[in-house]
Amino acid sequence: MAVYTDVSPEELEAFLATYEIGRLRAFKGIAEGVENSNYLLQTEAGSFILTLYEKRVNPADLPFFIGLMEHLASRGIDCPQPVKNRAGAALGTLAGRPAAIATFLVGTSVRRPSAGHCAALGTALAGLHKAGADFTAFRRANALSVPGWRPLFEQAEARADTVAPGLAALIADELATLEPNWPTGLPAGVIHADLFPDNVFFTDGRLSGLIDFYFACNDLLAYDIAICLNAWCFEPDGAYNQTKGRALLAAYQAERPLEPAEIDALTLLCRGAALRFLLTRLVDWLNVPPGALVRPHDPKDYLRRLRFHRAVRNVRDYGIALAGSAA
C-alpha cells in the first residue's frame, strides 16, 4: 500500500505538460512498492507508472536507480524504463517530491512460485547480473549488508525475545559468526537485493519483467542468489523446497556458472540474507504504531529460514549441481 503523497490534478497536469506522452486519460494511486508513492497514468500514449520518491529514499541515490533502469532496459532486460521529459531529464519534481515516469510493465506476480517460476527467476537473475556488469556510471553501496545489521539489532535487541524466546541471543550469535567471516573477493556487481515474488511479473507463465529497483546496489552477485533462495524456495510451513532451489540455481548457472568460492560461500550468504530480512522485519514489527492499517511481515518467517541455513552442513542441501554432477 503506497500512496504517501497526494497529487492534485492541477499539479499533475502541469508536470505532464513537460513530457511528450499525450494528454491524460486516467490517474489512480496504486498499492505497489513500499518506499514510494506510485500512480498508474493512462495517457494517449499508453500506460505508465508515476513514482514520487518519499523520505525513506535518499535523493542522492536517484541517479543510480534511474540510470540503472535505463541501462538495463537498453540491454534488453524487461524492467520499467524511465521516460524522459522534453528537456531530456528522467527525474523531475511533483508535489514537492522528486518524481519520475516509467513505462508500464505488463504481467502479474505469483504468490506461490512453482519450480518453473523459480527456474525462470534464475535465468532472469543471471541475465540481470550480466547486463549490470558494465553499469559503472554510478555506484551505490548496500546499506543493508553486514555493517548495517548490528545497528538494526541494537534497535530491536531489548524486545526481540517478545517475538520469539531466545531470539536476541540467536541474532547475537549469528552476527558474531557472520561479521568476521563474511566472504570477500567474490564476483561483485549490480544486484537487485529485493527480488521477492511480488517484484517479478509473469504473463502466460513466462517471466515478463522485474520491478522495484529501489534496493539495488553494488554487492556480491551470489548474495542476490541467496536473497532469492530465501524469498522463493521456502514453503509456507517454513520447509526449504530443494526442487525449487535446484531449479533456480541450475537456471542461473546455465547463464552464469558460479565460481567454486561462490558455491563454498552459499550457506553463509543464505544465513546473511535471512538475517537481513529478519532484522528489518523485526524492527518494523516492534515499531508498528498501535491501530496502524498496515500489518508488517511476521519476522518469524525469516527466523525459520535462518534456522534452516544454520543447520545446513553441505551446500548440496540447496540443490546445487556441483562440478562433475549433472547440470
Catalog residues that contact a copy of itself under the rule CB under 8 A. Answer: 1, 3, 8-10, 12, 23-32, 40, 42, 47, 104-112, 203-204, 288-294
Residues 6+ apart with CB under 8 A from 292: none
Q: Which is nearer to a copy of itself, 127 or 197 (CB)?
A: 197
Least spacing, CB of residue 297 vs a copy of itself, in Å = 13
Which of 7, 303 has the CB closer to a copy of itself?
Answer: 7
Our CB check for a copy of itself shows the closer of 17 and 106 to be: 106
Q: Which is nearer to a copy of itself, 135 or 202 (CB)?
A: 202
The distance of closest approach from Cβ of residue 295 to a copy of itself in the complex, given in angstroms and rounded to an integer, is 10
CB of 25 to a copy of itself, least distance (A): 5
- Could you tell me the smallest distance in angstroms from the CB atom of residue 106 to a copy of itself? 5
Residue 10 neighbours by CB under 8 Å, 6+ apart: none
Q: For residue 165, how far is the Cα from the chain centroid?
A: 29
Render the burial of 85-101: b for 16+ CB within 10 Å, e for the rest. Answer: beeeebbbebeebbbbb
Q: Are 234 and 245 in contact, with CB atoms under 8 Å apart? A: no
Helix (H, G, I), strand (E, B) or coil at 201: strand
DSSP-derived pairing of the beta strands 217-220 and 97-103: unpaired
Tell me if 85 sits within 8 A of 75, measured CB to CB.
no
Cell 561479521 sits at which residue?
179
Cβ 252 to a copy of itself, closest distance in Å? 24
Q: Which is nearer to a copy of itself, 13 or 264 (CB)?
A: 13
Nearer to a copy of itself, 47 or 123 (CB): 47
d(CA 286, CA 160): 8
Q: Shortest Cβ distance from residue 286 to a copy of itself (Å)?
A: 14
Contact 14, 6 (CB under 8 A): no
